[in-house]
Amino acid sequence: MLAAFVWLGVEHHQVTGQMSFALPDLYALGLERQTQLFIFAALFLGFAIKVPMWPLHTWLPDAHVEAPTGGSVILAGVLLKMGAYGFLRLAWPLCPEAATGAAGLVALLAVIGIVYGALVAMAQTDLKKLVAYSSVSHLGFVMLGLASMEVVGVQGAVFQMLAHGLSTGALFMVVGMLYERCHTRRIEDFGGLWQQMPVLGALFLVVTLASIGLPGLNGFVGEFLILVGAFRSMPVAAGVALLGIVLGAAYMLRMFQRVMFGPLTRPENSRLLDLSRREFGVLVPVVVLIIIMGVYPRPFLKTMEASVARTMATVAAGTDAARRVGR
């Protein structure tokens, strides 16, 4: 990323005689196709690791497992979105012709990530690793929306960034609360916890359903808009991505069933306490936002609509201009 930014500054100096890293100045450069390809490749590599996209995702599960609960929440809620934001804010408008040409590759990697992340999550025995791999799958949907190059799909991707930050951040909070009580993250060490922790169980259920995209919760809105946009421009990729939704429901509901329902087989779990006031105060606002975004998403979509439309118009204008001059 740093190499690409320095290159852009040098390009601006060669064209105008002034060094500038201001985005409006760089947007107006109208880079030649070959220069776009090199800069886009550098930006793509940096942002793809940051998202992370398959096959550059391997650092994420280990980072989540080793991080404390607060670190995992910040990573899922904020830091992972910087990669997708970089694609939308920098790579797309700075290199519009290269981005349009690479949209198919981005969509392919996104769809592989969606299905791969879901399948690997399904095989996990560690609760935190399962949630971490679910992030790989969910962020694949974000990248599919960006690759669609459709305003509705990109809006869905931005909305899904917000939705994923809330639902997955809340899941990591719940995992941390369970670990503090049980000192284990192995799914087989739980079971029957609803009897002991009904309040935690109810909030855990809401964020689990939000994560799988249940209508009425925030995960549904983003995924629906992403798929609408993707079906317009790349219907095959959108059709394969639907498999990720089915698999997501399978592994998340199976995980919830094994943790919260069934017999209370471990005697030590019979002494577990439900949520404290502090934990309740942390989780409830997140759950309320999850419901608000799912039931009434219009304020969020209206806020981002103009910016998304302007960004995609910039990309379209840059691509059209390059085609007119035959670059």
SS3 string, 219-258, reads: HHHHHHHHHHHHHHHCHHHHHHHHHHHHHHHHHHHHHHHH
Q: What is the pLDDT of residue 48?
A: 92
Number of Cβ atoms within 10 Å of the Cβ of 89: 14
Least confident of 37-41, 167-171, 227-231, 259-263: 259-263
Q: What is the pLDDT of residues 122-135, one digit of tens each?
A: 988 888 899 989 88
Out of 97-101, 168-172, 286-290, least confident range: 97-101
Residue 21 clears pLDDT 90, i.e. is over it: no
Q: Give the residue from 117, 108, 133 showing the smallest Cα distance to 240.
A: 108
DSSP state of 78: I
Q: Considering only CA atoms, which of 306, 270, 240, 259 is closest in space to residue 107?
A: 240
**Rounded to the nearest 5 degrees, what angle is found at the Cα of 102, between the Cα atoms of 99 and 107?**
110
Query: In this model, does residue 324 exceed pLDDT 60?
Result: no
Q: 139-159 pLDDT, tens per residue?
A: 999 999 999 888 899 999 999
CA 299/CA 318 separation, integer angstroms: 30
The length of the chain is 327
Long-range contacts of 180-187 (CB under 8 A, 24+ apart): 181/272, 181/273, 182/268, 182/269, 182/272, 185/126, 185/127, 185/128, 185/129, 186/125, 186/126, 186/127, 187/124, 187/125, 187/126, 187/127, 187/130, 187/255, 187/258, 187/259
State how far the Cα of 248 lies from the Cα of 258, in Å rounded to an integer.
Answer: 15
Residues paired with residue 126 on neighbouring β-strands, in sequence order: 186
| For residues 148-176, average pLDDT | 91
- Specify whether the CB–CB gap between 145 and 87 falls below 8 A: no
What was the pLDDT predicted at 206? 93
Kindly report the average pLDDT of the chain as a whole number: 88
Which residue is it, tokens 């094994």?
Answer: 258
pTM for the structure as a whole: 0.88
Q: Greatest CA separation found in the chain?
A: 74
Q: Report the pLDDT value the prediction gives residue 32, as an integer from 0 to 100.
A: 82
Is the predicted pLDDT of residue 9 greater than 60, yes or no? yes
**Cα 78–Cα 125–Cα 166 angle in degrees, nearest 5:** 20
State how far the Cα of 110 lies from the Cα of 191, in Å rounded to an integer. 34
SS3 71: helix
∠ Cα 260 282 293 (to 5°): 85
1 and 43 in contact (C-beta within 8 Å)? yes
Closest alpha carbon to 99 in 2, 9, 27, 160:
27
